[in-house]
Structure 1
Amino acid sequence: MSVVVVTDSSACLSPELVDRLGIRVVPLHLLHDGDDYRDSVDEIPRGLSGVTTSGASPGELGDAYAAALADSGGDGVVAVHISRQLSGTWEAARQAAQALGEKVRVVDSASTGMGLGYPALAAARVARAGRSLEAVYQRAVEVAARGRTLVVVDRLDHLRRGGRIGTAAALLGTALAMKPVLHLVDGKLVLREKTRTSTRALAKLVDAAVEQAGSQPAAVAVHHADTPERAEEVAAQLKERIPTVTEMVVTGIGNVLGVHVGPGAVGVVVCPGGADAEDSSTASD
């Protein structure tokens, strides 16, 4: 048996990767008019307004961890989740893990999207190699620490309503018709740069991602909210300007994250050093 990796649906991992690496995904929730939709599980009607979101509950996570622990044959579980600054999921995960004992380890990715997905993938790859619980946990922590997440949104209203960015900053940005470049710092979404046009914002997004990648190998993901053409354009620029890309993913941003960033958003996750095979920092148990 081997350690089992669990994450949540905000990781935006493809079903193919999840199946191949045996990752368990716990859905986050979208709430609308008394209905509770499980992200990436339930069919969600298009065009809903007034949608809110909710993290996974301690009960849901506890059930997932218990099943994963049993399937690991007692080797253990590493649960990698969305930033505690963005969702109550991490606190629910901590409670669920505490009830199951030391064989369940929880990692705060301090990110979301593939900023969460890459640590989960890296941990699962180490787990499939038969490594120990500690080695899998440390790999997730190490890859999460290297990840950098940037995003451009068309409007700040959605982030303000969801409490993911300060009201003053959101209102100022809206009043000035800014196209901001945002990034995650210590798990919080903050303003990195202000621009006046979408074209300029996307150019700054690409520049920032190239800067973060540096000259070493890097895994790169481009996310989008109903704007695949923008995402493909950004991805093409990144492939050209970061010749050391080891892994490139272009994917939708997911239903829960889409509620907060709004349509038209484009995000980039850069993981310098990649998320593939182990490196020297996790070479021994």
Structure 2
Amino acid sequence: MSKVAIVTDSNSGITQSQALAFGIRVLPMPFYINEKMYYEDIDLSQEQFYQMLASGANISTSQPVVANVLDLWDELLTSYDQVVHIPMSSGLSGSCETATALAVDYDGRVEVVNNQRISVTQRQSVLDALKLAGEGKSAQEIKKILEDTKYDSSIYIMVNTLDYLKKGGRITPTAAAIGTLLKLKPVLQIQGEKLDAYAKARSVKQAKSLMIKAMQHDFVERFGSDEQGTGMYLQLAYTGDRGEAERFYQEVRQIFPKQDIVMDPLSLSVSCHIGPGALAVACTKKLW
């Protein structure tokens, strides 16, 4: 039986302290802020990130440094037979493609999973991989299971401000101005590789209702469950405003009382493109 190490990146929302408790490794994502490099959860906290974002700092995302990836794999392979590496969705970053190319030189000892996950759904993939490794599955078997079920998740995100979508070129300045005037709250979705538009709401309350109804629809129509999400993990994420997220959490708990709901900050790599005050609801189909 192979001894398999599990690696992910900080886009999963798993902190360094949580990684230690889980027995996994988390590569911190690098960010350039006013041309200086920071590493998420190493020398860049959630609070610092949002303070810099609010101050108008020039923030750009970057892939993990190749040397850091290789050094981590080499270190783990002195104690483990194989490594399963679970990066963020290949549709949102080039880090998955880079890792896949690097793994070729490891002759099957490193398997990179491309299962289109981000944030809380990526976190669940990591926990699933950890359980599969504990059951004696090889890196190749874990990769196949996670990739075969890569579309078994949904994320809906309410954007609180249009400023960052405009800044990133995802909407035009005119559309942003009209949307701001009408107080629109766009709801975005991730059901696979990309972050796409889903609906427009006229209030936070309406956006929350849209997301919950969309989730119930997916439970039944996409995943063959019921409106309570039997056999599904239900997850929440947010950017910046934990107080509003806690209120949303309580509202969702009332609608899905049987669910054990996980809530984490949304990945900073997504947050810098949508800004603070966003709320997200997500689900992942259980493997067991």
Do both share a fold (TM > 0.5)? yes
- C-alpha distance in 2, partners of 1:35/1:133? 36
2:150 aligns with one of 125, 136, 144? 144
SS in 1 for 2:91: coil
Contact conserved, 1:27 with 1:41, CA < 8 A, in 2? yes
| More displaced 10-residue stretch of structure 1: 57-66 or 1-10 | 57-66
- C-alpha distance in 1, partners of 2:166/2:24? 32
Relative to structure 1, the CA distance from residue 179 to residue 211 in structure 2 (aligned partners, 3 Å threshold; closer, same or farther) is: same
Aligned to 2:175: 172
Report how far residue 39 of structure 1 moved: 0.9
2:61 aligns with one of 53, 57, 67? 53
Gaps of 5+ in 1: 280-285
Aligned to 1:228: 242
Report how far residue 151 of structure 1 moved: 0.6
Gaps of 5+ in 2: 220-224
Contact conserved, 1:111 with 1:149, CA < 8 A, in 2? no
Aligned to 1:262: 275
Report how far residue 113 of structure 1 moved: 0.5
1:69 aligns with one of 50, 61, 77? 77
- C-alpha distance in 2, partners of 1:37/1:150? 28
Contact conserved, 2:120 with 2:264, CA < 8 A, in 1? no
Aligned to 1:248: 261
Aligned length: 269
- C-alpha distance in 2, partners of 1:115/1:258? 16
1:239 aligns with 2:245: no
Aligned to 1:22: 23
2:132 aligns with one of 93, 105, 126? 126
Contact conserved, 1:21 with 1:128, CA < 8 A, in 2? no
Relative to structure 1, the CA distance from residue 153 to residue 69 in structure 2 (aligned partners, 3 Å threshold; closer, same or farther) is: same
Give TM-score scaled by structure 1 length: 0.85
Report how far residue 59 of structure 1 moved: 2.4
- C-alpha distance in 2, partners of 1:231/1:70? 42
Relative to structure 1, the CA distance from residue 26 to residue 14 in structure 2 (aligned partners, 3 Å threshold; closer, same or farther) is: closer
SS in 2 for 1:205: helix
Contact conserved, 2:103 with 2:112, CA < 8 A, in 1? yes
Aligned to 1:10: 11
- C-alpha distance in 1, partners of 2:10/2:174? 30
Aligned to 2:192: 186
Aligned to 2:284: 271
Contact conserved, 1:224 with 1:253, CA < 8 A, in 2? yes
Report how far residue 134 of structure 1 moved: 2.7
Contact conserved, 1:143 with 1:271, CA < 8 A, in 2? no
- C-alpha distance in 1, partners of 2:211/2:39? 31
Aligned to 1:282: none
Instruction: For residues 65-88 of structure 1, give each alpha carbon's deviation from its aligned partner in whole angstroms, at most 9, with x where no partner exists.
Output: 22223321x2x1111111112112
Give TM-score scaled by structure 2 length: 0.84
Contact conserved, 1:31 with 1:51, CA < 8 A, in 2? yes
- C-alpha distance in 2, partners of 1:79/1:175? 43
- C-alpha distance in 2, partners of 1:204/1:33? 37
- C-alpha distance in 1, partners of 2:68/2:174? 36
Relative to structure 1, the CA distance from residue 208 to residue 133 in structure 2 (aligned partners, 3 Å threshold; closer, same or farther) is: same
Q: CA RMSD in A?
A: 2.2
